[in-house]
Amino acid sequence: MFDYLKKSLLTGIGLALRSKNEIEDLAKEFAKKSEMSQDEAKDFLKECQQKYEDAKTGFDKKIEEAIEKILLKLDLPSKSDIKVLNDRIDDLTKKMTDSNK
């Protein structure tokens, strides 16, 4: 039963993506109410923090991918496209300047 509750809480952390402080407070409260030993509580807190970081990283990556897809559909140039064009303009400007000398 305890493992089931623990897994449910950890899954909920990933879904909720609450602030790190909220997660730590929730984990501490859960550890206290479930009468975990100090070592178990410390391990549980570390596990909660890691799950939070993993979920946040995954969420950030999904947001970036969604934005990239939207930009592709809108046919807007990316930052790297603009950099390539700027580099080409710089090269052409230099060539023009050199040929006028």
Average pLDDT, the chain: 77
- pTM for the model stands at 0.45
Judged by average pLDDT, the poorest of 15-29, 33-47, 85-99 is 15-29
Q: Which residues, other chains included, contact 84 with Cβ-Cβ below 8 Å and sequence gap of 6+?
A: none
Check residue 11 and give its pLDDT.
Answer: 61
Check residue 44 and give its pLDDT.
Answer: 79
Check residue 86 and give its pLDDT.
Answer: 97
Angstrom distance (rounded) from CA 30 to CA 13: 13
Higher pLDDT, 52 or 87: 87
Q: What ranges do the domains of the chain cover?
A: 2-76
Residue 82 pLDDT > 50, yes or no? yes
Angstrom distance (rounded) from CA 10 to CA 30: 11
Angstrom distance (rounded) from CA 30 to CA 19: 17
